[in-house]
Structure formats: structure tokens, C-alpha cells
């Protein structure tokens, strides 16, 4: 796969693709984007499998041939290639804190929402996990997923009672994953931030109005 300039394969229906679009917009860089229609299962087409054999978005096809997949790997490339507006930390400590809190947001929030959705939506029957392999849904996991999301809200509310942003004093990739998770939970599981979690809501009201959040 060879391109003259980097191209991001993405879909408006993919929360993971939104994480990368958000990151790109926050950095203020211009990368051409090519939509992949998940509704018609274009990700399984021969043409897209030639880009990403795992049939997932996003995928960043670099000039010269390499294709980078997985959100964190794409972020790492973009952070190194476009160092303006750092989003993965600037010091040894801040880099570790961003990595730690972004990982918690992904494992404790984003992944449970995804698990709940993929095990509940009829249209995803036989596709309980994304990627090249088929897996049956396990409906019993849905309620556990919702409990995990509720715990995520409580835990991150406690964190946001003590800091302005998820990883500390600066906006970072940890905030990107957290915001995408909140919107994903509200839209797909009908689980918005609970009213009692005022610190989380304060953070959301501030971060969600950033222009990059609409990417």
C-alpha cells in the first residue's frame, strides 16, 4: 500500500476513529481522510483488507507504504511526526501520567461500553469482537458491562474532583479517550454522566466545547 501523503481510513460511526480525528484536530494538522462505510461492511471488502487485513478502522497509510493501525500506535506516530501541541506528555512524569490515565479510560470505560454494545446489538450477531474473526455474542455480559461503566463514572468523578484534566493540569490524549467514552456510553448504552457526578460533568462541559471535539 503506497500513498503520496499520509491517508487516514476512518468512519464517522467508529468511536476509535473519532479518537484519532480528535487528536489530529487538536494538533491542527491536515491529513486527508478516506471514509470506510461500516454500514455496508466495507471493512471486509478485498480493497480495504489490502489496507488493513484486520478489517478495522482507523488505519493510517503512510507515504512510502507502511500502514499503522491501533489508536495508540497512530497517536504515537502523529506525536513524533507533528510535535506541535503535544498530547502525550512533555516530561517523563507527564508522559507516564497521560499513558496511565488514558489506559484506565480505555480499559475501565471505553472497553466496557464497546463490550456492552457488541454483545447487545442484533446487527452485530456473530461479530461480538471487531476484527477478522467471528465471535458469538454473550448477552449475559451486557449487564456487567453497564456496571463497569457505572463504576468508571464514579472513579473518574473522584479523580476529577482533584484535577482540571484527566491526567493533571494539561489537556491530553487521556481526555480524548474519556470524552469519546462518555459520548459513546450516552449514545449507545443510554448511560450519560450521572447527575451526582458533578466534577465529571464540570470536566465534560469544559472539554466537549473544544472545536476539536466535533472532529
For the chain, which residues make up each domain, given as ranges? 7-81, 92-214
Cell 465529571 belongs to residue: 200
Residue 99, exposed/middle/buried by CB under 10 A (0-12, 13-18, 19+)? middle
Which parts of the chain sit beneath pLDDT 70? Answer: 1-4
Pick the CATH number of 7-81 from 3.40.30.10, 2.60.120.370, 3.90.550.10, 3.90.420.10: 3.40.30.10
**Which residues on adjacent β-strands are paired with residue 35?**
10
Instruction: Write down the pLDDT at residue 1.
Output: 52
User: Beta strand 7-10 with 33-35: parallel, antiparallel or unpaired?
Assistant: parallel
Q: Which helix (H) or strand (E) holds 33?
A: strand 33-35
92-214 belongs to CATH 1.20.1050.10: yes
- Tell me, what's the pLDDT at 54? 96
* Secondary structure element (H or E) that encloses residue 35, with its range: strand 33-35
Determine the straight-line distance between the first and last CA of the chain, rounded to whole angstroms.
26
Q: Quote the CA–CA distance of 57 and 35 in Å, as a whole number.
A: 9
Q: Decide: 149 and 141 in contact? Cβ < 8 Å.
A: no
The 3-state DSSP class for residue 130 equals: coil
Q: Distance (Å, rounded) from C-alpha 53 to C-alpha 56?
A: 8
**pLDDT in the model for residue 176:** 98
CA distance 71 to 153: 22
Kindly report the backbone phi and psi dihedral angles of residue 102, in degrees, each rounded to the nearest multiple of 5, phi listed first.
-65, -40
Buried b (16+ CB within 10 A) or exposed e, 157-179: bebbeeeebbbbebbbbbbbbbb
Q: How many residues does the chain have?
A: 215
Measured CA to CA, the distance from residue 11 to residue 32 in angstroms comes to 13
Amino acid at each position: 500500500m503506497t500513498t503520496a501523503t499520509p491517508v487516514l481510513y476512518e468512519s464517522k460511526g467508529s468511536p476509535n476513529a473519532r479518537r484519532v480525528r480528535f487528536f489530529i484536530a487538536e494538533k491542527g494538522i491536515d491529513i486527508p481522510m478516506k471514509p470506510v462505510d461500516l454500514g455496508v461492511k466495507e471493512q471486509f471488502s478485498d480493497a480495504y483488507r489490502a489496507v488493513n487485513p484486520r478489517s478495522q478502522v482507523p488505519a493510517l497509510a503512510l507515504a512510502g507504504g507502511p500502514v499503522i493501525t491501533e489508536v495508540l500506535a497512530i497517536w504515537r506516530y502523529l506525536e513524533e511526526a507533528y510535535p506541535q501541541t503535544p498530547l502525550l506528555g512533555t516530561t517523563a512524569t507527564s508522559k507516564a501520567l497521560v499513558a496511565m490515565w488514558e489506559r484506565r479510560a480505555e480499559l475501565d470505560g471505553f472497553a466496557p461500553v464497546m463490550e456492552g454494545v457488541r454483545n447487545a446489538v442484533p446487527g452485530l450477531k456473530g461479530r461480538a469482537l471487531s476484527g477478522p474473526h467471528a465471535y458469538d455474542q454473550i448477552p449475559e455480559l451486557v449487564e456487567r458491562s453497564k456496571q463497569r461503566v457505572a463504576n468508571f463514572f464514579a472513579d473518574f468523578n473522584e479523580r476529577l474532583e482533584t484535577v482540571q484534566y484527566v491526567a493533571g493540569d494539561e489537556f491530553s490524549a487521556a481526555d480524548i479517550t474519556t470524552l469519546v467514552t462518555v459520548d459513546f456510553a450516552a449514545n449507545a448504552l443510554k448511560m450519560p454522566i450521572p447527575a451526582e457526578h458533578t466534577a465529571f460533568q464540570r470536566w465534560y462541559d469544559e472539554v466537549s466545547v473544544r472545536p476539536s471535539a466535533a472532529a
